[in-house]
Amino acid sequence: MADDQTLSNAPPRPREYEILDNIRHTFAEKGFDGASMQDLARAAGMSVGNFYRYFPSKAAMVEAIITRDLEDVRDKFTDVVAASDPLAALRCGLHARIAEECMGCPDAPLWAEITAAAQRKPEIGAVVGKMERGVQGYLVNAFALIAGVPEAEAARRFAAHAAMVVMLIKTTAIQAQADGQRCRSDLTALVQRMVDMILDEVSAAKAKGFDDARD
């Protein structure tokens, strides 16, 4: 079936998770265009016909991968919001994510392929964009708690802050992949300091008060 098939918003089922675990390496190794449905079905240990029952297109696979990863992101932000010090928890989590990306996380080749495919294929770009907006939304919610303002006000004031954090992490991952899956330690530290500046600006807004921000 065509890759431009309409994407479903339904979350992947557990069996699909198992299949995704089996095909991630093949997808990353051969690339979005290079990996055939036969290659992916073989990696999953299934017949092509049965494989199509779960994933009728490569776009559907990318959507399932992104949906699964967004669930992990949601769980991490749930922990941030529940922490006694949400700012410290968010700072620690973002620092760890940047360090992981700079060291070259195992999924870096896969995400490099997905990012490249998003530039060529509108349906993949739409799914990747949805993920980035989702992460930005979680950040804005955390910023609202940190700054002590309503979520709508946080979205107005801190949407650009959230977008910049996502951009920094995404660019760091791309740079690490280009450098052979490893960034220089000084670059890692610099990106972490830039994120700290963003978080400090959000935190400082709390002292100014919600009423001042509305003027």
pTM of the predicted model, to two decimals? Answer: 0.79
Round to whole Å and give the CA distance between 53 and 60.
11
For residue 120, the enclosing domain spans 59-214
> Domain check: are 157 and 114 in the same one?
yes
Q: Is residue 94 part of a domain?
A: yes
Q: Taking Cα atoms as reference points, which of 111, 123, 120, 116 lies closest to residue 2?
A: 123
Question: In this structure, what token pair is assigned to residue 129?
Answer: 């964009």
> Domain check: are 77 and 180 in the same one?
yes
Helices in 83-121 by DSSP H: which ranges? 86-103, 108-120
Burial class (CB in 10 A: 0-12, 13-18, 19+), 39: middle
Q: At what angle do helices 122-147 and 151-178 cross, to 10 degrees?
A: 130
> Domain check: are 41 and 66 in the same one?
no
Q: Taking Cα atoms as reference points, which of 148, 145, 118, 146 lies closest to residue 131?
A: 118
Q: Is residue 2 part of a domain?
A: no
Question: In this structure, what token pair is assigned to residue 66?
Answer: 């992104």
Round to whole Å and give the CA distance between 154 and 72.
23
pLDDT digits (tens, 9 = 90+) for 103-132: 766 666 777 778 888 888 888 888 889 889
Residue 38's CATH number: 1.10.10.60
> Domain check: are 129 and 161 in the same one?
yes
| pLDDT over threshold 50, residue 4 | no
Q: Is residue 35 part of a domain?
A: yes
> Domain check: are 27 and 66 in the same one?
no
HSE value, Cβ hemisphere, 13 Å, CA-based, for 68? 17
pLDDT digits (tens, 9 = 90+) for 13-61: 678 888 988 888 888 788 878 889 999 999 999 999 999 999 998 888 8
Question: In this structure, what token pair is assigned to residue 109?
Answer: 């080749």
pLDDT digits (tens, 9 = 90+) for 71-103: 889 999 999 999 999 999 999 999 998 888 777
pLDDT at 124: 86
> Domain check: are 113 and 124 in the same one?
yes
| Residue with tokens 């490099």, as numbered in its chain | 112
Amino acid in the structure at residue 110: L
Total of domains in the chain: 2
Round to whole Å and give the CA distance between 126 and 76.
24
pLDDT, greater one: 112 or 138: 138
